[in-house]
Structure 1
Amino acid sequence: MNKQKILIVDDDANIAELIALYLTKECFDTRMVHDGEMALEVFDNYQPNLIILDLMLPGIDGYQVCREIRAKSNTPIIMLSAKGEVFDKVLGLELGADDYMLKPFDTKELVARVKAVLRRYQPVSPNAVQNPNLKCVSYDDLVVNLSNYSVLYYDKAIEMPPKELELLYFLASSPNQVFTREQLLDNIWGYEYIGDTRTVDVHVKRLREKIKDHDHWRIATVWGIGYKFEVK
């Protein structure tokens, strides 16, 4: 079996080497680069399964690297930053990052998060949806499959990062039930994101860009409370 490839982008060579060391021990193939331009160049040739991306890079910063990669690929991205402001976290998620860790971080926790994100992100062929044992919900022109992280919309596979798909699945699994932003944060992101409710709004906005309102269902805003998957 081929090793999964991790691209590490950090201008601090010591941190990059430490991350590479731990990931190599876990049988990942790693590549290190130290600036944004090189990251974009290496990305196309190396074709990693996941990117660990520092925000503060010389030249093109991590936000711009994330933006440019997201324009052409759904490869999972874990952002690293020494900054803890909510604004940074939300902007990173808004640009399409899948997870976010603050420096200094525990290397074992980073490895665990890498594995968790990769587990969630396993693109498979849309045909796998036909298996009745899979964990999926279906409506007219929409099938959301949590077992293999795939979405079929008007019979076309729609690529989306794991958290968007989990949010869509969670809402669609309980039609017409209203969830507060806090409930959605707790269920999809876990305790560490509590209080950062803009994260939910950002992901709903991105979902609506990909999945438009249907005659029989839609992702509805319940003003002052949160969201629901409304079925007519």
Structure 2
Amino acid sequence: MNSLLIVDDDLEVLGLLKKFFVQHGYSVEVATDGASLWAAIERQVPDLIILDVMLPGDSGLILCQQLRIRHALPIIMLTAMGELSDRVVGLELGADDYLTKPFDARELLARVRAVLRRVDERRPVLQERPRPLIDFADWHLDVTRRELRSPDNVMIPLSAGEFDLLLVFVEHPQRILTREQLLDLARGHSHEAFDRSIDVQVSRLRRKLESDTKRPAMIRTVRNGGYLFTPSVTRR
């Protein structure tokens, strides 16, 4: 049974969503702000967090950023803000998906299933790989632990989306991949994803991998083509 943590300061929404997801076979914890979110995680780390943007105290965007530093948990943001720029901010801060209010609970259920499926689909692949440690340009990616270490052996936190995208790049090195190919390979399928979401994920990866993000050397943009991961890759 997958476990969810739903964070929203609207008690009526919390009650309805908890009842809905329990009816669909999920274990559900709820929180109304940052303090109760961290307390819930201390009791049990969930499989996925549904996080509202508008919260008292620390906003959902701030909490999303803090979660990305501490955990590699999938996060779906709920927002009443419909502008593309607002949604992009959430993705840049580490959200794996978003849904704009008002929404149908069935659509949220579909998003939850899609995100969890992407995580689950990776697990059997990781168990089958005899050499789950990947090296590139003095960086080290532990596929089993989903950990990235810098050349100085510093752990670099990655969101689930960032990890999946980096894994696609290291599995297809020195090959031009279109945005559509990256979406298909990283997410398994399209679920109202737009090309800009890949650009956001690439931008976030560059900030963590590149010494000069204005002149990226590892993840190059190919005009009218997509992206090219330039380092050679070895497994051990």
Q: TM-score, normalised by structure 2?
A: 0.74
Q: Distance in 1 between matches of 2:14 and 2:90?
A: 20
Which residue type is aligned with residue 40 of structure 1?
Answer: W
Q: Which runs of 5+ in 2 are unaligned?
A: 212-216
Q: Which runs of 5+ in 1 are unaligned?
A: none
Partner residue of 1:44?
42
Shift of 1:113: 1.8
| Aligned mate of 1:106, from 104, 107, 121 | 104
Kindly provide the CA deviation profile for residues 157-203 of structure 1, in whole angstroms up to 9, marking residues without a partner as x.
97633322332233344433323446545765626233x52x32331
Aligned length: 220
Partner residue of 1:218?
218
**2:192 aligned counterpart, secondary structure:** helix
Contact 1:186 1:193 in 2 (8 A): no
Deviates more, 1:151-160 or 1:64-73: 151-160
Deviates more, 1:117-126 or 1:50-59: 117-126
Matches within 5 A, 1:6-155: 6-122=4-120, 128=127, 130-131=129-130, 150=146
Partner residue of 2:214?
none
Contact 1:98 1:163 in 2 (8 A): yes
| Cα gap change, 1:108 to 1:125, in 2 (>3 Å) | closer
Shift of 1:130: 3.6
Matches within 5 A, 1:186-201: 188=186, 190=190, 192-194=192-194, 197=196, 199-201=197-199
Q: Select the structure with the greater relative contact order (CA < 8 A; seq sep ≥ 6).
A: 2
Contact 2:96 2:115 in 1 (8 A): yes
Partner residue of 1:171?
169
Shift of 1:8: 0.8
Kindly provide the CA deviation profile for residues 9-38 of structure 1, in whole angstroms up to 9, marking residues without a partner as x.
112222211211121112221112222332
| Cα gap change, 1:151 to 1:59, in 2 (>3 Å) | closer
Deviates more, 1:115-124 or 1:49-58: 115-124
Partner residue of 2:206?
208
Report the aligned-residue RMSD: 3.7
Contact 2:220 2:230 in 1 (8 A): yes
Deviates more, 1:74-83 or 1:172-181: 172-181
Contact 1:121 1:149 in 2 (8 A): no
| Cα gap change, 1:163 to 1:174, in 2 (>3 Å) | same
Q: Distance in 2 between matches of 1:149 and 1:193?
A: 27
Which residue type is aligned with residue 228 of structure 1?
Answer: L
1:230 maps onto 2:230 in alignment: yes
Which residue type is aligned with residue 229 of structure 1?
Answer: F
| Cα gap change, 1:121 to 1:59, in 2 (>3 Å) | same
Identity %: 38
Q: Distance in 2 between matches of 1:137 and 1:84?
A: 41
Contact 2:33 2:56 in 1 (8 A): yes
